[in-house]
Chains A and B, each alone.
Chain A
């Protein structure tokens, strides 16, 4: 290929200290574009060198693969996303934690498309990458330090413009919901699925990159023109994200029944939403906007912390998921507590969705007497109590008292606690559900049940279409747009189409919010041509999306996943939450059968041989 990837990734064996190169052939890019697809291909085909999955996600041989999206490093709108892929320490299945910021761009500017990390270092190390060379350096002095401290000191020790991917104490302590944090104070997180624990298990504290090389592009003037055009559209279409950030959606989502309340139990949180929403937080604390590399939206917000230990310091404003998680879902109406909890998670290196889900789970267990003060070091866990929220977050990162169990994730914690804890364990395949309630958008129900990494909303943002933020015609969806329409066939079709599109965006390194600019798949496919010279249509590109989704499913099937796991938590299937989603339920059984048919999987959720051949995944599925 004449443009796009450099065609090589870095290989690092932390045990032997060996550093090498692995080729990224054009054929792989044409089949999977980039990012997680290429990671899954390598994992399934054993890197062509006889690698056998040792099973345990924290086994030293288990690879952590960093892979940029195809467009990362180009100025194409929102081209910043990088995948941290591999087997999730939390769920034991496929995981790709995808993150924005400037790390991916720096990695491409250092001349690499990605990094394959294997083995476990004897003592803590960090990886220092520049176009001039790659070095493993001792990191004992940073071990135990938080993310902000480590980021600052590593940039002092290397290069002031370097970008860091760092784990905090949570990752070091193998906390299963630990994130990998990008850009220190900027608080960008490869959050979901516990990739911080995978990195911690390798005794790798950080990856630091600096570079100045330009990614090769075939038609640079054409690409610049396309970029200018879409950026102008994004400034108009995504003005809400620009002004208030994702947390600006809190009140709307509360009203529509989309935002979970009281551990997904209840329907309304009107006053609390008004004091935990982005607008309210920004009113007194706003400092400046933040945008990831190549992004015209600038949905990030830097704020001054208004309370607590770090009062007066700057931090990143909570995203919608975090505001919903530490706000309504914990019945906490205090925006300052949301800000503090978010900042604490970013410092300690914890996924805010899972961390807040676990806090709500623990509060409900406490309410029911399953957890008592004896388990919490004396801390009461009343609903909405800010002190309880903050102390639990810290306890999880350091595995103190009940935090040690919660650090294993909701699924494991519910198993160990027993009694009726499963009743209120809100997770799918071991991953805590994100905060878009599928009862408010039943098309999200089938997405959550079939998303490859578990309870993930990002794999199929159907509420963007039903909520009027992305034209249905762009994905050739002709079914009803009323979110409560009971047409199972149509709503399942919508989920499949959006999953295919999201897989493509991830692989190209584009942000979800690009679609707020109403950019069509045909337009994006044209960018592929501009960058690589390879002719691709929108339809062909979405077909690659279907291939990517089934590819990751094959990885999951190999790890024991089937229909039995494509389930939603009982509370969400059977309990009327009320509010803006009053009386709405997901008809999951019917949707699953329809979904499998549409995907070409059998009724147990296993891709059929015919489908595997049709999608060209024989090598990955082990078919000859």
Chain B
């Protein structure tokens, strides 16, 4: 079976090649203990194991195609980022509602691009970077999605997309508009 493993924080340092994300071919039905042995990570250093975004116990059985994450102790109270879709400020428990605004919780997974909202089309990499800094300074988390291959010059359609979680879409657009208003010029790229 094939599984995808992500080691968070300092856990990659235990792996012989220091890999933080890797695809492993293992015998069907393996245990977490067996996986740890392959990775070289001591069990006592792992606080939390997550399979397909669900927390699991040490007795979990591995199966083909799973996405597995490990978080380290002490720091490892860490868990996949969760935002309330409505007020965008709180982490909430799986399947529960946000304790502040009552909205149902939504997950922003590590590869949750499909759930993200595009707010800006960047003409080149510098522009994308500038917009990212602007947004992040305003507390808006940003995902950059280039059109082409990373490291290669942008094509005729420009560099790529700036995306944010849906709950921060309006805030993101407001930040950018305010900035260009203050600068007395229009946006260099295209606001979505």
Contacts and interface: CB of A to CB of B under 8 A. Distances in A.
Interface of A: 236-240, 244, 248-258, 277, 279, 440-441, 463-464, 466-469, 481-486, 576, 578, 580, 582-584
A468 B42 contact: no
Interface string B72-111: 1111111101010000111101000001000000000000
A583 B83 CA distance: 8
Given A236-B44, A252-B78, A582-B83, A468 B9 contact: no
Contacts of A239: 42, 44-45
Given A578-B139, A582-B141, A463 B77 contact: yes
A613 to B, nearest CB: 38
Nearest to B90: A583
A482 B10 contact: no
Contacts of A248: 10, 13
B22 interface: no
**Which 6 residue pairs are nearest across A and B when measured between Cβ atoms?**
A252-B9, A252-B75, A468-B47, A583-B89, A256-B78, A483-B77
B43 to A, nearest CB: 9
B67 interface: no
Contacts, number: 104
A371 B141 CA distance: 32
10 contacts: A240-B42, A257-B78, A464-B74, A467-B75, A468-B73, A468-B74, A469-B74, A482-B93, A484-B91, A582-B81
A580 B141 CA distance: 11
A466 B11 CA distance: 18
B90 A252 contact: no
A468 B141 contact: no
A441 B77 contact: yes
Given A239-B42, A239-B45, A467-B47, A252 B89 contact: no
A466 B77 contact: yes
A491 to B, nearest CB: 12
Contacts of A466: 77
Contact of A252 (B76, B79, B99): B76
A253 B9 contact: yes
Interface of B: 8-11, 13, 42, 44-48, 71-79, 81, 83, 88-91, 93, 99, 136, 139, 141
Contact of B76 (A237, A254, A467, A582): A467
A590 to B, nearest CB: 13
Contacts of B48: 468
Contact of A256 (B9, B13, B42, B46): B9
Contacts of A580: 78, 81
Contacts of B90: 484, 583-584
Most chain A CB within 10 A, of B72, B77, B90, B91, is at B77
Given A468-B73, A482-B93, A237 B10 contact: no
B77 A486 contact: no
A256 B44 contact: no
B72 A252 contact: yes
B10 A469 contact: no
Contacts of B77: 256, 440-441, 463, 466-468, 481-483
B47 A244 contact: no
A277 B10 contact: yes
A343 B157 CA distance: 52
Given A279-B13, A486-B99, A255 B75 contact: yes
Given A240-B42, A484-B90, 12 more contacts: A239-B42, A239-B45, A240-B73, A244-B10, A244-B13, A251-B10, A252-B9, A252-B71, A252-B75, A468-B47, A481-B77, A482-B79
Contacts of A238: 44
A578 B136 CA distance: 9
A468 B76 contact: yes
Contacts of B11: 252
A152 to B, nearest CB: 34
B10 A249 contact: yes
